[in-house]
């Protein structure tokens, strides 16, 4: 699983790393339910910096379901 947080999210490395940490934490929690054998790349939207951790979890779960990556 790859996570890409670009400069459009924030010019501050601190903010980009915070988003990366939140996404990694969410992935760790969802990992047992994700199908094996797939490479996943997560690209972030600049609006993600205004979201809290719960909203990020819901959005990631929704995206994985739409992609058919849940067991």
12: its two tokens: 């501050």
Q: What is the pLDDT of residue 58?
A: 93
Q: What is the pLDDT of residue 17?
A: 94
pTM assigned to the model: 0.85
Q: What is the pLDDT of residue 70?
A: 86
Q: Strand, coil or helix: what is 55?
A: helix
Question: Over its length of 71 residues, how does the chain's per-residue pLDDT go in tens digits?
Answer: 999 999 999 999 999 999 999 999 999 999 999 999 999 999 999 999 889 889 999 999 999 999 999 88
């Amino acid at each position: 699983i790859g996570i890409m947080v670009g400069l459009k999210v924030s010019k501050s490395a601190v903010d980009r790393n915070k988003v990366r940490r939140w996404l990694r934490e969410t992935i760790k929690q969802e990992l047992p339910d994700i199908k094996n054998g797939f490479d996943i790349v997560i690209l972030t939207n600049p609006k993600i910096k205004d979201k809290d951790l719960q909203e990020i979890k819901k959005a990631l779960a929704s995206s994985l379901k739409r992609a058919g990556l849940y067991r």
